[in-house]
Amino acid sequence: MIRTTLTQRLALLGASGALAAGGALLPSSAFAAPAAPQVVAAVQTAPDHQAHPIGNTTTTRTVTKTVKRTLFDGRVKVTTTKTVTKTTKNHHGNVVKKTVTKTVTVRILPAPDDD
């Protein structure tokens, strides 16, 4: 047999009494005539610890560099280097993840027509 303390019994009695009172009030208010509209004052509170962001923040930085060089036969070699850096920081400002992606594109264009 499990023994319950006096505080447990009182808490259970209070909770069941609150449920019974709420259940008795619900049907009587459901059929009541509509009352005049009530005016309620709006109160807005500031959230706690707004200075510290909650989640992680991600910053993306893209750098594109283009180099054109004329080859010995007159064609133009265009080299484009694109570097994308993604940095994720936690709410303390510490770097959690850093990703660097470098893409190099080389195109050779025909020699320009000098008429």
Q: 3-class DSSP state for residue 19?
A: helix
| pLDDT score recorded for residue 42 | 54
Q: Is the pTM of this model over 0.75?
A: no
The candidate with the shortest Cα–Cα distance to 82, out of 61, 108, 109, is 61
Residue ranges of the chain with pLDDT lower than 70? 1, 22-53, 114-115
Q: What's the token pair of residue 86?
A: 């993604």
d(CA 25, CA 32): 11
